[in-house]
A and B are shown apart, each in its own frame.
Chain A
Amino acid sequence: MALDRISLTDFRNHAATELGATARFNLLVGDNGAGKTNVLEALSLLAPGRGLRRAALSDIARAGSERGFGVGASLAQNDDEPVRLATYSESAHPNRRRVRINGADSSAARLGEWIAVTWLTPAMDGLFTGPAGDRRRYMDRLALALDPAHASHAARYEAALRERNRLLSDLREPESGWLDAIEAQMVQHGTALMQGRARLVETLAVRLAEMPAEPFARPALSYVPAAPDHADGLSQALFDNRRRDRAAQRTLEGPHRDELDVVHAAKRVPAAHSSTGEQKAMLVAMTLAHAGLAAQGRASLLLLDEVAAHLDPVRRAALFEQLRGSGAQVWMTGTELAPFSAIAGEAAVWRVSAGAVERD
């Protein structure tokens, strides 16, 4: 199961780009700004979520386009008709994501029934050293690929949290019945959110433990919940903290303060203190482990933006070998073909320039 006959219409700098006859390995080669990552972004929008740039939909349509953007692809099935997946926007509603599956209107969540997409981009290089919010979003994005409901729990928890914070910072004393109602929503969605994160990290850790310790600097992951992860406990904590939270004018305890702990397993050093190369290697290991988990019988798509060129030759060779055995359809970008020489013979190579592609 892999994507074929991919089309991008008015998608960023791609006016009309077609990628037919794709392969297990697909390489997008071209200068910076040519539109390689835009292709990956388009592919990432064939899954639920906001895509690999987390961009506002209205920013995606090509400048000067009269229509919205469009991405379509055909997903080959083992012994059945291919499934047509499409997502697009309309100029009248530039922020509404529309989805069609086999020509019928559908929802982004339903895309997840057909395909799982995992990616690694240079923007994620600071994951271990950056703010904890980045790691929570990372956990949530990965958990979403395992359970489509995770995203709505995350969004609803956030919305309820904003309501509670707004009410707590009101000049008037908040009505306790109103707080009860908001906290009930935080408990319902917050516990689901925490359970989803815990399940993700647990399964990811098992998967990572099965991978060879070298050369990918195997990371050890642990999920650190910032509040009781069961309904009664979270409900009690929110209730007990009302006075303190009112003084602080915000909610001090809850899954919005969760943390993902990552340690270089062999060296027992926090990932944040590891070398840049080790951090990248750990990210690759986590991405590969997740791609394996996320597939769950669906088509699996792995998008690696500017990854190969930044690995040393040993790790690069190991990466290609892992990818070959992963069962995923792999899309990689680079400014040159040379780092991919070991797999170029079995890959579809696309030269990308100024929003157009040409098969090599």
Chain B
Amino acid sequence: MASQEIETLAAALARLPGLGPRSARRAVLWLVKRRESALPALLEALATVGEALVECDTCGNVDTTNPCGICRDPRRDLKSLCVVEDVADLWALDRAKLFTGKYHVLGGKLSALDGVRPEDLNIAQLLARVEAGGVDEVVLAMNATLEGQTTAHYLAERLEEFPLRITQLAHGLPVGGELDYLDEGTLAQALRARRPLV
């Protein structure tokens, strides 16, 4: 039986996405074995993240500055806006290094079953950004899940009144899955082949 301290750490790690109790215990064991080499660096990184990270008021990205690095980057194309469900999707897309515009994080997806309604998402902020002008194209980069696609359709309807090109990532049923599971090549391809949403 492991000590209370180890159990507490394992329980905390087990809640991380993709981990679970078994992997968490393995991670704890790995850390215990390297408590002198790896643990201090990890502690420091965690502390820094805890202190320094803030949410960008403009796009919803998480960064050490507000507005975030992407929003402040003058080389970024202001005319193109890419809407994603979560920050993880933003990071995945930005790793593919193909999209040169700015982002908008919705903070989730519409789901009647989970009680996530339009007003729970950053949709008003999105409409305000578009209404402020200067945006020519909105790329709806939702996941290929049913809820993601429903959300994309809903947004397209809300954006209809603006003189915009509304496009959607070219990933369909065969790819399925969620954006941050896709490799960069596939993501770049989905962006390059983005198509108008009807």
Q: Kindly state the separation between the CA atoms of A93 and B18 in the bound complex, as whole angstroms.
A: 9
Interface size class of B (residues with CB under 8 A): 20 to 34
CA distance A258 to B118 in the complex (A): 32
CB neighbours (8 Å) of B146 from chain A are 156, 159-160, 163, 185
Kindly state whether residue B165 has any CB partner on chain A within 8 Å: no
- In the A-B complex, list the 10 residue pairs whose CB atoms are closest, starting with the nearest: A181-B154, A181-B153, A166-B112, A167-B112, A159-B146, A163-B112, A181-B150, A156-B146, A184-B153, A92-B22
**A185-B113 in contact given A91-B22, A177-B154, A177-B157 (Cβ < 8 Å):** no
B23 at the interface (CB under 8 A from A): yes
Inter-chain CA distance A254–B56, complex, in Å, is 44
User: In the complex the two chains form, is B23's CB within 8 Å of A180's CB?
Assistant: no
Interface flag for B149 (CB, 8 Å): yes
For residue B151, which residues in chain A have a CB less than 8 angstroms away from its CB?
Answer: 181
Name the interface residues of A46-98: CB closer than 8 Å to any CB of B: 91-93
**One of B20, B111, B173 near A163 (C-beta < 8 A):** B111
| Given A92-B20, A160-B150, A175-B118: A181 in contact with B173 (beta carbons within 8 A) | no
- Most chain B CB atoms below 10 A, which of A160, A170, A184: A184
C-beta contact mask, B122-162 vs A, less than 8 Å → 1, else 0?
00000000000000000000000011011101100110000
What is A's interface to B at a CB cutoff of 8 Å?
Answer: 91-93, 149, 152, 156, 159-160, 162-164, 166-167, 170, 175, 177-178, 180-182, 184-185
User: What is the CB-to-nearest-CB distance from B160 to chain A, in angstroms, rounded to a whole number?
Assistant: 10
Asked if B188 lies at the interface with its beta carbon under 8 angstroms from chain A, I say no
- The answer to whether A162 and B113 have CB atoms under 8 Å apart is yes
* In the assembled complex, B69 has its CB within 8 A of some CB on chain A: no
Given the known interface contacts A181-B157, A185-B149, the answer about A152 and B112 at a Cβ–Cβ threshold of 8 Å is no
Whether B150 contacts A185 by the Cβ 8 Å rule is yes
One digit per residue, 1 when the CB lies within 8 angstroms of any chain A CB and 0 when it does not, for chain B 179-192 equals 00000000000000
B176 close to chain A: CB less than 8 A: yes
Q: Nearest-CB distance from A204 to chain B (Å)?
A: 24
Q: Report chain A residues within 8 Å CB of B20.
A: 92-93
The minimal Cβ–Cβ distance linking A108 to chain B, given in whole angstroms, is: 11
Bound: A339/B153 CA distance, A: 58
Distance A149 CA – B175 CA, assembled complex (angstroms)? 11
The answer for the CA separation of A181 and B150 in the assembled complex, in Å, is 5
Instruction: Evaluate contact between B22 and A152: CB separation under 8 angstroms.
Output: no
Q: How far is the CA of A152 from the CA of B176 in the complex (A)?
A: 9
Q: Supply 12 A–B pairs (Cβ within 8 Å), ascending by A.
A: A91-B22, A92-B20, A93-B20, A163-B112, A163-B147, A167-B112, A175-B117, A178-B112, A181-B110, A181-B153, A184-B153, A185-B153
